[in-house]
Structure formats: structure tokens, C-alpha cells
Structure 1
């Protein structure tokens, strides 16, 4: 489970506790809505109007703030006894997925609020006071008991003036995770002001930066009435071992999630707080064994120990925690028997344990075969990513309160049948992916549950479609990928799956056609790849963002209306799609990743944005485009001028032609990977390619490129210097979409790279490949010395061109190069000695040039395979590994370099001929001493000769028309006799 996602789960749990505490506070101390007889104080009405004047209210939350009676305004509450404003509740809707639906206040908080001197309750949470500090004057509202400024995008130092609010009982200053992405959020370098809030019961400083504070606990210890303390992700670095005199005897809830303690888990001050009911110390870097002190926390209701470096088995005295309802200890290193651990859970107090999460804890062996009493009321059982083995015991089916069962990614096997499932009426999430479990139930079985989440990836469901799925009509997330289903998809499946937002059926043998009603499904992410689906592509669901239909048998043209305006990922490669690329593709403005490779697409790519209005001319946001291995033609697509975010572009193995336009280097400034291999592009390499500062992969091989290499092309920093691979680069090369542990659409861009003498497929690691391949063109001139600046190159291929001159002396600067091919050119002079310094080199080709002189010596060069073949066709070279010594006379000048290697070729053929002679002598000697083998061999040869001879004679005579009926019969008789003898001899040999 992803660390960030787990952190969000922790925060969500915290929010539930906040809401509970807040509700309690409101119930006890918040005034009730006003009576109709209560009227507003004029001075307080003026203060509220001045406050509103400084605000920005795009959602008209304060539209009711008009008229004389401010006590009737929204969010304003007055005392029934005095008429003073005592409560101001202006909580916004905060962060939402849809920014248009936010109902928030913004702007400035006016000091006019000081006119509300009887205010006891102030809530400005979940608004957007962006880039504004918390006002200092709030510390002058001395009667405040409740202050909530959380999640409102405040920045800067928390004012110490808040310490003047001596009546304060509830203080929430939560910052937000989003704040840290946008700006620095809030911080405090001195929290001594907290010590003056002696009535405080609830303190929340989640995501407030307290990294500068070392001695924070003594200050907190001055709050004797404190019940709830939340210091999640505050960048605290110290957690004291103990308190000499603890005043925190009332503390019930302590959240210290996500700090930076990195110290032993014991001794620690919080283990002495036996009044604690809710303790969360997850994600703190605590290490050491699970400690016996846990058994002393007898009031504990929820215990969160996850994502630390705790090791060993839970302590046996955990049985003392008779009030325990929730235990989270995922991503630990228990490294022991699941059976032993389960028997250490408390059985006392009517089995209160409801949620148990021990995922990714290195638990071993099989689940116990007998029921565990402590689990009888369990609603969550999460044991994913462990090393559990064996069968799923039947007592799992007796956990009738179970809503979540997650055993994903273990080594479980065996069969699950109706006995495991028939009593799980409450089951909502059933996750068994990545096990070897077979689910075998009767075709007429009707499950008692209605699931929202069902993950059975890599289990055995097939070969037929599981009929029990037809009753799961409320699925939200379904994964039955790689489950050995070999069947035609039934119509009821599409109906039942229409409610699923996340649907994965990949890597089966499912056949049939996609439903014509697909546009009415609720799918957001769909993966149907690696099946046998055929037919045309229908109109897609309107909410769809990611769709993978690759590796099927889809036919026909692309749809004229895709019907999914928010589509971000479209993978249709390796199908039988034909026709031209329609202009409707341009309507998918959210598209980031498009792979149409290995289809039958043809024609040119139309510039479908040319005639659009200026308001829509922002272009396409696509970052990864692959059209390789089609029959596309025409010039380099001008449409790509409208794709400024393009990072990966693969047009290889098509029929594109024409010259490479200069605008590639001017419009596609984000381009890192450009592959135009095996087309018919001609003309020079544009100088403007030097503007592609991120370019690290350039493949123009097998075209008709001519002219010399522009020296400026060697300036791209992607080849010249080390740089970090950005998250965006990794995202566009390998995209995984899903929820939680269910990665639904799993796509990794793949490039084939001709390196080390063979074509290799690079998938996700392609982002680390730095490649320059200009082979098999008509490029002339010298190899520029600037090539030595491309120190990050791993593959350099300039073979089969017309390069002349010398190999650059600084070729040894390419310290990362693994494959270097300069063969079949007109290069001359000596091989630079720096070549021997390439310690990463594993493949070198210099054959068929005009090189001369002594071959450099070097440990790396001597480890290369086929060393002699590296230098074939260079008659002037001498020294090891060649047989020609450097003292021998030079060859006659003027010989063609293609013929100049005859001496080497003669040596090659003499050696090869010797091997053949030795092989023949082995056969001869065998026949000499094995009489039966010799006789059989000669007999077989004679009969084969007779058969061929008769066939030739009959065919020849027939063609000449010289045979009469009698002679034909005679010949036929002879033929049959010879053939019969041949079969007899052959049978004897066998």
C-alpha cells in the first residue's frame, strides 16, 4: 500500500475524531439559534458588515447578510439572554475535486471582528485565505472558548498573541498537505504561548512546521486539562523518554503521526499515559522490538503502530487490552507465525476487536485451522502483502460481521467454495489478488453479499465466466484480470459491470464484441487488454479517463466520436484497426498518452486544428505518442506543432517521407525521445534540433538522411550531462491508474533499441537510455569532435554512412557508452588510444573502414567478444587481436578499403576451412571403424540416388512425349520396384 495513501488514511481517522470532539464541544458550549425576539446590537452589526467588506465571497455564502437584524444572518448566533453575537460559524467547503463547487470565503480578515467582544465561538475553517497570516488581533478576543482556523491556507508564523486566549478550550490550527505543495504553510519557532492556555482540552497543529522546536513536550505538559492532542506531520525530531511529573493525566487521544523521531520505541514518555484511548505513532521511524509496555495500556481503544521499524512478535500481555477495538500495525516486521500472533489478541470483554490491519508485516505460515475467539466480531481483516501459505480456513466464513477481507499478495492456494462465503452477508470488499486460489461454486449459487470492491487478479476463475458475478450489480471496483477465463463475454456481465468505475479484465482469453451500449457505463478506468475481443470500437463512457484495449482483435476504423472528453490515456496498440486517423482525436484535449502502434492505420495525419477558433488553439496536451508499425504516410505530421508537451514520440517503421521540419526544435521543446526509424525521410538533419535541451534519445536510422551532422546538435543536455528523471517523465513513460493496491491500467512505454549488435526491447527503464542512432543513412563529412561532450550516451551507432576523416580523439570521454558502432564508413587514420578507457563498453564495431596503425591495448578492449571481427576490412590495422604484426610492410596505398581486408579475410577462411576438414575427418574415422554404420550409409545413399534418378527419367520422358503405353507401364514397374526397395532399406535402418 502506498505510503502517501496510508498517511491519508491516518488523517481521515483523525478527522473523524476531530468531528466527534467538535460535536461534543458544540453541544456543551454553543448557544442555540436565536429566538425571534432577539435583536442585533447596532455596533456588532457594523462590525460584521465591515468584516464582510474585506472578504471575497464568490459563492455568495453571505448573501443573507442584509437588513438590521444580524442575529438572523447565516452563521451568526446571538445570546438569547443578552443579544450579543457569541458565535460566528463561517466554515467553508474546503478542498474539493471540482474547483467550481467550492463554497469558500477568501480575501482579508478585518480587525473589525474586535467589535464582537462577547464572541465565544469562531470557526473560519476550510476557506481560502491564501498567502495570508493568521491575524494577531484574534488574540484580543478574550472570551473565545472555541477557535478553528484549520485548512484555510494560512501561511507564516502562528502569532504568539493566541496565548492571551486564556478561556480557550478548543484550538484547531491544522494546516494542510496541499499547503506544502503550494507554499510554506504555517510554522512556529516558539510555542511557549501555549502554556498560558490552561483550560485547553483540544489542540490540533497538524502539518504546522515545528521543526525548530526541540523542547516541545514540557510546554504541552503545562496543559493539565488537555484531552485531545494532534501533532501529525509537524516535523518534530525528538520524543523524550519520560516526564518527571506528568500533568497529562486527562489525555485520551494522542496523534504523533509522520514525524522524524528515528529513535527506539522504548523508553518513551507516552507509554506512561495509561489513560490513553487512542494512540497513533505511525510513520515516525521508531525502531526496536514490539514492547511489553503495550500491555499496560489497558484503556486503549485504538492503537496505530504502522510504518515504523518495529520487529518481532507482538507481546503476549496484549491480552490485557480488553477495550481494544482497532489495531493497525501494517508495514512492520513481525516476521513470525500468523497463528501465534492471532492467539495473542485479547479475548476479554465480549471480543470488541473490530478492525485488524497487519498488512506487509512479514507474517508467515498458514492461517489457523480452528476459529480464533478474538476475531468473532471482526469487521476488517487486512493481511495483504505477507507470506501466508496454505488454504483459506472455513472459519473465515463464520465472521458474519466482516465487511472487508483483504488477503492480497500472499502465497495462499487451495479452493474456496460456498462454505467460505455463504454467511458473509455484510461483505463489502473482497480482495484475494495475487494468490493461487481457485474459486469453485455452483453455477446456480446466489451470493448473500453485494460487493463494492472485488479483486481476484491471478486467481483461478475460468475457464467459463463465473456465473455468480451476475448478482454483483453494485460493483464500484472490479478486477478479474489473469484469471484463466476462456469464454465469450456474456451479455449480463456488461450489464452488471456498467456500475463499475474501475474495471479490469485484462490478460484472459475473453472473446466477443464490446457492447454498443458502452457509452452508458460509469467506467472511469477500464483495462480490457490482452484478450480476444473483436469488432469495432463503440462510443466510450463519458466519464472515462483511461482505456486499454491493446492486444485484442479489434477491427475497423477508429470511431468518429470517442465520446469521452476527459480521456487521458488511450491504448489501442497491437490490434487490427484500419483506416485513417480521424480528426475526432483532436477533440480529446485532456489526452496525455496515446499508443496506436502495431495496427493497420494508413494515410496521412491531417492537421485537424488548423481551422479551429482562436479560443481553442491552446493545442493538445499529449505527452506520449506512439504510431509506429503502421502504414501511415505523408510528411512529418504538422499536427504535432500543437503538442508543446510532447516528451515521447515514436513514428518508427511507417512510410513517412519528406524532410524533417525545423519547427521540431522550436515547437516541441519538451521532447526527450524522438524515434523516426525505418521511414523514407531525406535531406539534412535540422540545426534546430539543438534547441531540444531535454533530448536524450534520437533515432533516425534507416532513412535517407544526407549532408553532414550539424555540430550544434550535440548540445542537448539530456545527452551531455547527468540529470534527474522528473516525476513527469516517469509518469509519461509508465502510467498506472487505479485505486489503492489495484493498479488497473498498467502501461509501460516500450522502445526497441539496436544496441550491442542486436535489437533489444526497453520498457520502463527506457527513461534511463541515452541513445544516438543515425545508422543506415547517407550522412557525409567528419564525425564532429563535439560528440565527446555527450558523456551520458549509452548507445552510439553511426554505422553504414559515408563518414570520413579520423575518429575523434576525445571518443574516450564517452565513459557511459556500452555499445559503439562506427562500422562501414570511410574513416581513416589510427584508432584513438582513449578508446581503451571506455570501461563500460561491451560491444564495439569498427569493421570496413580505412583505419590503420596499431590497435590500442586495454583491459576493456580485450574482454570484448569476437575481437578479430571488430576490425575486419581495415587492412592497415595491426597488432593483437589480429594476426598481422605491426612490423609487417604496409599495404599498397590506394586499395579500396572494402578489398583491403583480403589478408584478414584469407586468414578467416583458412581457419574456417580447417574446422570443416577436422569435422569431415571425424565422420570418416567413424565410418572406418563402424562397419554397420558404413554399410547403412552407403545403402541409404544408393537408394536415394535411385529414387532421384527414376524421377528425373520419368519426368524427362513424359515431357518429351516419347513413351507409349507399354513403355510407360515398364517404367512404372521399375519405379515402383526401386521405390519399394528404398522404403525397405529405410525401414531396416530405422
Structure 2
């Protein structure tokens, strides 16, 4: 809807919802001359700076949403909102520059993401009631101040995709039990070891520190100090050493990405303890559903979080928003892991994506991998796997991407409806000189290509075979009983042949009489 941006109504506007109405490019004058309580100007085509009068008109506001425009310029030196009501402010996805201003004491929600803000994060946040702080995709630099972790009500913090560096400070005033539930620090320049300050975040459920410069070993305290983790993303850092067994004891974990590090050693066989990957995610229990619901900030009880998340699956990097709630993912790729793939991996029946590529894994592909009936993407490429390909792979009916290339696999390539439906089938098996079959243009020397037969068909064939075998056995047994009786019992033979002669005589007489009657009628 197109609205005249010079509109100046006869009444004072206290509450307005103009989402996706065309008010721009100038900032609407009528809004500036009103005393605002709640206002939604998101996606209204404003290509202008925010006038000083606007902040005067909104000094008693409870909710302001200016997101999705091209607002330029700087923010005021401070956000001052009067009254005792909690305040929500969303100015994300604009072109604002400069530092973060001093925040109002009654601010509970602040989203300044997707702007060009810069400078250091304030050493004193000044908003003790703040619950949600979203600052991703800006150009903030320097270290992360202790004040971020001293906020007792802060449960959601996203400062990803900035230029933050250094290590986490030792903050003496951090509460022993922080309220932080969601922490996203990915794509910065943070370094040193896995932050020990995370031990204070007992309720942490979502942790993303991917694409940084963290190093050292993964902590063994992760299971005892962060027992509620559902989402853990550590990819593209410099972590080394073994995968701690404690990592596989996180019962709620449904997304684990430790790809592109320097990890070594075996994959722990205790993977079966990851119960979050055994059961299908329940929408009602998922934190992610709340985070990505995309709700309006105008409703003070709705927390908006519209960021997308990059996930490597099906051989490519995909962007997820609401779909991340249902992603059950395990990615150990691009490390130096050795040993065999534990057969316990077959217990993770809710897995949708499994990537173990670019390691030094050896031995055979476990038969239990055919139990992953929900898996959509399976990548075991660039390892040292040997032996035959399990025929049960053809029974993975959800499989959309498979990569077994560059291993030492041998034998015939299994066939089946699901495997034949995959795209670019030749590339799936390339780099395995021991494989044979039509897909690699290599003869199997007269051996038939293994055809996978589902278990229910196996059971049906077994039942039919039992039936036919029973019929044949009964027929042969009955025939032998009669034959042996005639052979050893003279009276049986006399009775049988007498009966047979009588029957023959009766049939002959009936036939002769019928024929005679027929000829007389003619």
C-alpha cells in the first residue's frame, strides 16, 4: 500500500502498524509529530536518516520496529526511553554507521544486526534488564567486554560476523549461573582455547563459535557444565587432540559440527549416547522453533530472530531458517580421524546428515549404517575405507546425496531403486579401483551385481518357500505311505484292484447304455 509520506493527520498517532506499506523514501512527517507508544515501520521503503524529533516523539515508546529499510546516518548518543514499561527496539537491516549508543535502562530487546556499525562494544552496556541482544553482520572490533556476561537477564546474544578478536576475559563479576541460553560468536577472529567462561552458562542450549581461531583441545567438562546443549558448532577453528568421550554424553545434542579442525584419534564408540540423534525432534521442545519463528517485535511477548544459518549438507552449503529446528546433523569432516567407523553409529536413527569425509578412517563400512533410515545426506568420501559396499544402503529411502568416492572399496556396486535414483551416480564411486559394475564401466567377471531386497520382501519369500516345501513334502510322504502299503499288504492290493475293476465295469456299462439310448433316438 502506498501512503503519502507528508501525511499529517488531525489526530496524534500513538500506535501504528505500517509494515510493508510504501512510506518512503523520506521519513514520514506525521510520525515525527506524534507521541508514539508502539510503531512498526519495517519494510516501508525509507531511504533517509532518522530525524532527531523522532526520538523525542518515541521517548515513551514500548516497541519500535524500523527494520528492513535503508536508513542511513548515526544513532543518537543514547537511547532514553521514559516510563517503567519494558522497551523493544529493532533497527536491523539498514545502513546505519557509527558506534552503539548508551542504552536505556528499561530496554529488554535490541536488534541492530545487518548494519555498518563499528567501533568497540561498550564496556558498560547500561541496560540491566536486557534479555536479547542481536548485533550480527556489523563491523565491531576489539574484545568482548565482561559486561556482556554480567547481565543477569540476558539469555540471547548474537554478535557473529563481526571483527571481534582476542580471547575471552576473566570476568570476576560474572554470575555463577548465567542466564545465557543462545550464544552465537561465529565468523570473528576470536582465539586461544575453548573459553572456560562457558562453564558459567549452565543453561546453554545453542553454541556457535565456528569460523574463528580457537585452538587447543576440546574440554572434558562439556558434559557436566553444559548438559542441555542441543546445537554445537565448532567448525573451521584450530582445535586439536582427540574427540572427548564426554562430548558424546550430551543427551540433548541434535546438531554436532566439528568439521575443519585438526582433531585426531578414533571416533568414540559411545556415539549411541547422543539420544537427541536417536529421537525425532519434537517441535514443542525445541528452542530453535522459538528463535526462528520470525515474529514481530511489536508484540512485546514475541522475540524476533530472522537470521539464517549456513549448514553443509548434501554436498553443498545451504542456508536454513525455520528448517534448522528439524536438522539432526553430524559433521566430522576435514580432520585427521583414524580407525574404523563405530557400528554404534547405526543407533542414531534420527540423523538426517552424516559427513565423515576427508579423514583417514579405515576398515569396512559398518552394516549398521543401513539403519539410518532418516538420513538424507551421507558422505564417506576421501578416506581409506575398504571391503564391499553394504547392500543395505539401497534401503535408505530418504537418501538424496551419497558420496563414497576415493576410498579402497571393492566388489560389486549394489543396485536398488534408491541408489539408482541418485544424481550423478558415476561420481559417487569414483576413485575406488576395486569396484565393478555398470556405473564404473568395469566388468565383474561374470558375477551378478548384488540386488538389494527389502526385509519385508525377504520375509514374504521365506513364507512362500515354506508353503511350497510343505506341500511337496506332504505329497511325497503320502505317496510313499500308499505305495508301501500296497507293497507289503496283499489284502490291500486285492481290495484296491477289486474296487478298481468294479469302477471300470460301472463306467463301461453306463457309457454303453447311454450310447445305445442316443443311437435309438436318432
Q: Same fold (TM over 0.5)?
A: yes
Aligned residue for 2:60? 499
Aligned residue for 1:770? 328
- Shift of the alpha carbon at 1:708? 0.3
- Shift of the alpha carbon at 1:539? 1.4
Matched, 1:659 2:190: no
Matched, 1:450 2:12: yes
Report if aligned partners of 1:682, 1:703 keep a CA contact under 8 Å in 2: yes
SS at match of 2:11: coil
Report if aligned partners of 1:519, 1:563 keep a CA contact under 8 Å in 2: no
> Whole-Å Cα distance in 2 between the matches of residues 671 and 623 of structure 1?
9
TM-score, with normalisation over the residues of structure 1?
0.44
Query: Are residues 439 and 465 of structure 1, via their aligned partners in 2, closer, same or farther at CA, if it must alter by over 3 Å?
Result: same
RMSD: 1.9
Matched, 1:712 2:274: no
Matched, 1:806 2:370: no
SS at match of 1:636: coil
Aligned residue for 1:237? none
Aligned residue for 1:486? 47
Report if aligned partners of 1:462, 1:485 keep a CA contact under 8 Å in 2: yes
Q: Pick one of 462, 466, 470 that aligns with 2:28.
A: 466
Aligned residue for 1:427? none
Query: Are residues 749 and 714 of structure 1, via their aligned partners in 2, closer, same or farther at CA, if it must alter by over 3 Å?
Result: farther
Aligned residue for 2:2? 438
> Whole-Å Cα distance in 2 between the matches of residues 456 and 874 of structure 1?
60
Aligned residue for 2:469? none
SS at match of 1:468: helix
- Shift of the alpha carbon at 1:714? 3.0
SS at match of 2:16: strand
> Whole-Å Cα distance in 2 between the matches of residues 631 and 824 of structure 1?
29
Matched, 1:695 2:253: yes
**Structure 1: stretches of 5+ with no match in the other structure:** 1-436, 890-990
Report if aligned partners of 2:330, 2:355 keep a CA contact under 8 Å in 1: yes
Aligned residue for 2:75? 514
Report if aligned partners of 1:513, 1:534 keep a CA contact under 8 Å in 2: yes
> Whole-Å Cα distance in 1 between the matches of residues 32 and 405 of structure 2?
66
Aligned residue for 1:797? 355
Superimposed CA distance per residue, residues 100-129 of structure 1 (whole angstroms, 9 cap, x where no aligned partner): xxxxxxxxxxxxxxxxxxxxxxxxxxxxxx
Aligned residue for 1:600? 163
Superimposed CA distance per residue, residues 757-803 of structure 1 (whole angstroms, 9 cap, x where no aligned partner): 10001112211000000000000000000000000000000000000
SS at match of 2:229: coil
Report if aligned partners of 2:96, 2:115 keep a CA contact under 8 Å in 1: yes
Query: Superposition pairs for residues 682-761 of structure 1, below 5 Å?
Result: 682-727=240-285, 729-730=287-288, 732-734=290-292, 746-761=304-319
- Shift of the alpha carbon at 1:868? 0.8
SS at match of 1:851: strand
Query: Are residues 736 and 563 of structure 1, via their aligned partners in 2, closer, same or farther at CA, if it must alter by over 3 Å?
Result: farther
Query: Superposition pairs for residues 121-132 of structure 1, below 5 Å?
Result: none
- Shift of the alpha carbon at 1:647? 0.8
Aligned residue for 1:546? 109
Query: Are residues 740 and 625 of structure 1, via their aligned partners in 2, closer, same or farther at CA, if it must alter by over 3 Å?
Result: closer
> Whole-Å Cα distance in 1 between the matches of residues 324 and 50 of structure 2?
36
> Whole-Å Cα distance in 2 between the matches of residues 756 and 556 of structure 1?
38
Report if aligned partners of 2:136, 2:161 keep a CA contact under 8 Å in 1: yes
Q: Pick one of 22, 32, 37 that aligns with 1:476.
A: 37
- Shift of the alpha carbon at 1:810? 1.4
> Whole-Å Cα distance in 2 between the matches of residues 728 and 872 of structure 1?
40
Report if aligned partners of 2:289, 2:325 keep a CA contact under 8 Å in 1: no
Q: Pick one of 819, 827, 832 that aligns with 2:390.
A: 832
Superimposed CA distance per residue, residues 526-585 of structure 1 (whole angstroms, 9 cap, x where no aligned partner): 000001111110111111111100001111000111111111111000001110000111
Matched, 1:867 2:429: no
SS at match of 2:57: helix
Report if aligned partners of 1:673, 1:696 keep a CA contact under 8 Å in 2: yes
TM-score, with normalisation over the residues of structure 2?
0.82
Report if aligned partners of 2:281, 2:326 keep a CA contact under 8 Å in 1: no
Report if aligned partners of 1:666, 1:691 keep a CA contact under 8 Å in 2: no
SS at match of 1:698: strand
> Whole-Å Cα distance in 2 between the matches of residues 785 and 591 of structure 1?
42
- The structure showing larger relative contact order (alpha-carbon pairs under 8 Å, at least 6 residues apart) is 2
- Shift of the alpha carbon at 1:747? 0.8
> Whole-Å Cα distance in 2 between the matches of residues 597 and 888 of structure 1?
58
Report if aligned partners of 2:81, 2:87 keep a CA contact under 8 Å in 1: no
Larger gyration radius, structure 1 or structure 2 = 1
- Shift of the alpha carbon at 1:743? 8.7
Report if aligned partners of 1:749, 1:764 keep a CA contact under 8 Å in 2: no
> Whole-Å Cα distance in 2 between the matches of residues 450 and 823 of structure 1?
66
Aligned residue for 1:591? 154
Structure 1 residue runs of 4+, over 3 Å off? Answer: 519-523, 725-728, 735-745
> Whole-Å Cα distance in 2 between the matches of residues 535 and 799 of structure 1?
43
- Shift of the alpha carbon at 1:883? 0.9
SS at match of 2:439: coil
Query: Are residues 741 and 586 of structure 1, via their aligned partners in 2, closer, same or farther at CA, if it must alter by over 3 Å?
Result: closer
- Shift of the alpha carbon at 1:740? 7.5
Aligned residue for 1:673? 231
**Structure 2: stretches of 5+ with no match in the other structure:** 448-522
- Shift of the alpha carbon at 1:520? 4.3
Q: How many residues align?
A: 445
Q: Pick one of 338, 344, 351 that aligns with 1:780.
A: 338
